[in-house]
Amino acid sequence: MKKIMQFTLLLVTLNLSPIFVQADEKKNEELMKIVKEFTPSNALLVSPEKPFSTQSIQLYDFNHDGQKEIIATFEIKAKEQPNPSQFGVMVLKKVNNDWQKVWEKKAQGVGLNFSGLADITGDGTKEYLFGVTIGAAAGNKLEIFQWNDNSFINIADVPYFEIDILNQNKKVSLAIWQWYIGESYLVDVLKWNGEKLVFDKESYSKYYPIIENFYNDKISKMDAWFYWYCLADAQIKANLFEEASKSIEKGSLLAKKLSMPEVVQTFNELSDRLEEKKKGLMNSLSLIDNAHEYSLIRRISNHMV
């Protein structure tokens, strides 16, 4: 009896699968038909490089009315190659059973690097992130748009070479990798403070192991001063002062061996930054200790009275 039931379930599964596939295909065809009505005649729909597996058409309910808006990305190739193309995004909204284009953005570049959604502001509605590749040396430009009255407003522009979206305890941060030299990068982790993106020290400390692993791997293959510089920069930001001091020493020694006085000076400046960070942290701890001591004295005094 058990075998018969298993066989029956298998048949049901096999019979239902094509139905779901056909339903998905029909839905995709309907979306494509809607989008093509509003896409410029000389444009082609394109998918972004990131987030991985993201399609050219995305759906999200920005105003929480139960009807998802359509987000579509496209490319308009330059008439004369290899001039940069125009990469665009448009948002379609259903109004009284008719679809309307409520917003469109275009930017010149050589590639569509990012197109995705994340609740950067923490208000419960995801922002739209649009990143276009400017060039091999210039990297990418990320624009962050917030939904506002059936349209979007730009709330931040961020240059980057690589980007990670971090979700920790319902809080979203951006790990931004900026190109330095060769295959080395300076990394910042940013969060929204209600008005703008600012450095997120808590998330940086949690993200630091990823940076450390990246540079440990690079250094194991090539012991270059610029890897030590970027690693020391990350260690200072993560308040790993002893590790940063050692990285500065190793990188500076390599620069001296290569007779690069300007690079040695760069490491000296990084060392000064390290000492300032240490002093600032010590002063902060001292203020906290004084505040605790003052609070304790007040409590004892009140008890005695």
pLDDT in tens, 29-54: 999 999 999 999 999 999 999 999 99
Predicted confidence at residue 141, as pLDDT, reads 98
Residue 106 lies in a domain: yes
Instruction: Give the separation between CA 114 and CA 196, rounded to whole angstroms.
Output: 20
Predicted confidence at residue 17, as pLDDT, reads 47
Angle between helical axes of 261-304 and 241-257 (0-180°, round to 10): 170
Instruction: Give the separation between CA 118 and CA 130, rounded to whole angstroms.
Output: 11
Residue 151 lies in a domain: yes
Q: Residue 13 above 70 pLDDT?
A: no
Residue 231 lies in a domain: no
Q: Residue 305 above 50 pLDDT?
A: no
**With bands split at pLDDT 50, 70 and 90, how would you rate the model's confidence at 288?**
low
CA-based end-to-end distance of the chain: 84
Range of the domain at 137: 25-160
Pick the residue with more confidence: 96 or 228? 228
Structure tokens at 97: 């059973």
> Residue 232 in contact with residue 248, Cβ under 8 Å?
yes
- Residue 50's nearest CA partner among 156, 175, 150 is 175
Residue 204 lies in a domain: no
Give strand pairing partners of 156. 144
**Mean pLDDT score across all residues of the chain:** 88
Q: Residue 23 above 60 pLDDT?
A: no
- Full DSSP string of 19-72: HHHHHHHHHHHHHHHHHHHHS-TT-EE---SBSTT--SEEEE-TT-SS--EEEE
The number of folded domains in the chain is 1
- Which residue type, as a one-letter code, is found at position 95? V
**With bands split at pLDDT 50, 70 and 90, how would you rate the model's confidence at 299?**
low
- Residue 149's nearest CA partner among 114, 121, 125 is 125
- Full DSSP string of 65-107: SS--EEEEEEEE--SSTTS-EEEEEEEEEEETTEEEEEEEEEE
Residue carrying structure tokens 């790993």? 240
Residue 223 lies in a domain: no
Residue 66 lies in a domain: yes
CATH of the domain at 123: 2.130.10.10
Please write the tens of the pLDDT for every residue from 199-213: 999 999 999 999 999
For 258, the 3-state DSSP assignment is: coil
Please write the tens of the pLDDT for every residue from 116-171: 999 999 999 999 999 999 998 899 999 999 999 889 999 999 999 999 999 987 78
Residue 241 lies in a domain: no
Residue 203 lies in a domain: no
> Residue 63 in contact with residue 84, Cβ under 8 Å?
no
Pick the residue with more confidence: 294 or 102? 102
